[in-house]
Structure 1
Amino acid sequence: MHSKRSNNAGERAGPGTLYVVATPIGNLSDISLRALETLRSVHLIAAEDTRHTRKLLSRHDIHKPLVSYHGHNLERSGRELMERIEAGESVALVTDAGTPGVSDPGALLIAGAVDRGLPLVVIPGPTALIAALVASGLPTHPFVFLGFAPSRGHGRTKFFASHAILTMTLVLYESPKRLARTLEDILTFWGDRRIAVARELTKRHEEVFRGLVSRCREHFSGEVKGELTLVVEGAAEGIIAAEREERDWRGELRLLLDTPGVTLKEAVERIAAARRVPRRTVYREALRGKPRT
């Protein structure tokens, strides 16, 4: 179908093909005919979670060998998959939900195939970030996909501080356990903007909250379950200059507080002196911004 190479091992004259196959993000009916055709034709399927993928294959009566490829076996499994493709086998790469290579380990396998010059074919389909972006009601272009924010420390502070002045729509993924903290950081670093939080897209309990970040924080104040995609309004062009200085000193303060060896007192004094902000104001912000463990 997509490759003219024979499936007969004795007739293989060159490398096989790595097929990057998008699968449903929730509803198992959201899979393309081309994706099903590809999954039926390959020699094997590399899956992030074989148990999860087996449910999809069973639904569509597909019976192919499954191998595990995930964050804990990237080097070994990736090397074996490359060797099999070079030997002439065709491999379908799938992730638990959506398009492989978008915030999942599949990106490394894809990059490896490109580096080795192996045939690569992408079978497009569902991806949560696009579905959430369209459903958000916010501008769909330009936009930037930020993936997952770092979980803690200097990297997390830098993540939110560095993206605070982007004027385009921002899209990021988050886990239910960290949603409250992420909304708090968005409010602190980016301000009370419009936001859409898409939860459990395409599933029975699908929900899209639209409103200000402060209202969103109230809405999700209890226990949260399910996959989450956040779509946040970009910084307004007209107020960037007016708000940038205040956000900058707060961001700098957070960075100092996350720096090993710098005490709270030192951080406060540095910011107060350098940015000409009242020491009491900086101190209050420092108490709010102590590194969290």
Structure 2
Amino acid sequence: MVAHSSDDVRGTLYIVATPIGNLEDFSRRAEKTLREVDYIAAEDTRHTRRLLNHFGIEAKLFSIHDHNEKDKSEYVATLLEEGKNVALVSDAGTPLISDPGYHIVSFLRARGLTVTPVPGSCALIAALCASGLPTDQFFFAGFVPAKSKARCDLFDSWKTQAGTVVFYESTHRIYDSIKDVASVYGDDAQLVLAREVSKTFETFLSGTATEILAMFDADANQMRGEFVVMLSFTQESGDEKELEAMRILTILLEDLPVKQAASMAAKLTGEKKNYLYKMALEMQAD
């Protein structure tokens, strides 16, 4: 049963994960929580109402989304301080994971109010655990930029990122995003694309960016749906690249000024000139 905290009569905000596709993934605890709270804050009340109707749950709904989240924080705090319990849900999966909720949770924590997770479905974790890529370290980037230039800049910044990189992408931009991955990494990244996780047409595609694009060209249906994109880099690790850059700079600095040495090292290693220039200055200072 949903309960108030033991030290006062204030309510609790429950962060409730909902199915990302298969309704059988809805946990008994999540269903019970939504039945018993006083209010449910939903990203899209129409979408959540369909879920509630399926399980025969009646609830007082109000909306919390990207455009009103900050304004609703005080309202939710007031409900909790009055002893009401509130559940926060997104359209699918775990709230706050590339969905609204951060500002409210941060605001409530600062007020000393109770926030409790009710774990469940999350596309990020579901896709990663079945990808076959390394899971001991991973970096989640959420949704990547819509413009190619900004995407490529972001992808380029991941070149020294340890572990598997994960991001979300839509059906409308998946081809262009993978094309940009190919332009930045060539064949130096192993990709796994999880499409429509837990839904009827769930599919995992594996290969280099070039191979994935060929799959799209051969079957346009593979571009339909919502995607979790995972990249594992086959190039040298960040530590190995830094050691190699230092080795090359050490040799070049014996005969060249810092600026020229950094420029030459950038051509040899593919690292950014400014990064190598700073490294060379630090090496000389030592």
TM range (shorter): 0.7 to 0.9
Matched, 1:187 2:182: yes
* 1:232 match: 231
Note the C-alpha offset of 1:115: 1.5
Instruction: Tell me how far apart the structure 2 counterparts of residues 153 and 179 of structure 1 sit (CA, whole Å).
Output: 12
Q: Does 1:134 align with 2:129?
A: yes
Alignment coverage as a number of residue pairs: 246
Q: Which residue of 1 is the match for residue 197 of structure 2?
A: 201
Give 1:231's aligned amino acid.
Answer: M
CA shift for structure 1 position 15? 2.1
CA offsets 1:78-106 (integer angstroms, 9 cap, x no match): 33222212222110000111101111111
RMSD after superposition: 2.8
8 Å contact kept, 1:167–1:235: no
Paired amino acid for 2:216: F
1:24 has 2:24 as partner: no
- Deviation of 1:76 after TM superposition, in Å, equals 2.3
Residue identity in the other structure for 2:50 = K
Corresponding residue number in structure 2 for 1:58: 53
In structure 1, stretches of 5+ residues that fail to align are 7-11, 246-272, 278-293
Alignment-mate amino acid for residue 3 of structure 1: A
Quick one: distance in 1 between partners of 2:60 and 2:103?
A: 21
**Identity of paired residues, percent?**
41
- Partners of 2:45 and 2:174 in 1: CA distance: 28
Shift of 1:108: 1.9
Q: Distance in 2 between matches of 1:147 and 1:4?
A: 33
Task: Encode CA deviations 1:176-224: one digit per residue, 9 max, x unaligned.
Answer: 1111121122122233221111111111111111122111112224363
Moved more, 20-29 or 233-242: 233-242
**Alpha-carbon separation, structure 2, partners of 1:122 and 1:205:** 29
| Separation in structure 1 between the aligned mates of residue 25 and residue 64 of structure 2, nearest angstrom | 23
Query: Unpaired segments of 5 or more residues in structure 2?
Result: 246-261, 268-286
**C-alpha distance 118-18 of structure 1, shift in aligned 2 (>3 A):** same
Residue 219 (1) aligns with residue 236 (2): no
> For the Cα contact (< 8 Å) 2:70–2:104, is it kept in 1?
no
TM-score when scaled to structure 2?
0.78
Tell me what 2:140 maps to: 145
- Deviation at residue 235 of structure 1 after TM alignment: 4.0
Contact 1:190–1:235 (Cα < 8 Å) also in 2: no
Of residues 232-241 and 98-107 in structure 1, the stretch that sits farther from structure 2 once superposed is 232-241
- The 1:108/1:235 distance shift into structure 2, 3 A limit, reads farther
How far does the alpha carbon of each residue in 1:139-181 deviate from its partner, in whole angstroms, 9 at most, with x for none? 1111111111122376434321211222311111111111112
Is the alpha carbon distance of 1:238 and 1:43 closer, same or farther for their aligned partners in structure 2, counting shifts above 3 Å? Answer: closer
Structure 1 length as normaliser, TM-score?
Answer: 0.76
Alignment-mate amino acid for residue 145 of structure 1: F
User: What secondary structure, in the 3-state scheme, does the structure 1 residue paired with 2:166 have?
Assistant: strand
Distance, in Å, in 2 between the alignment partners of 1:124 and 1:3 is: 17
Q: Is the 8 A contact 1:129 1:171 kept in 2?
A: yes
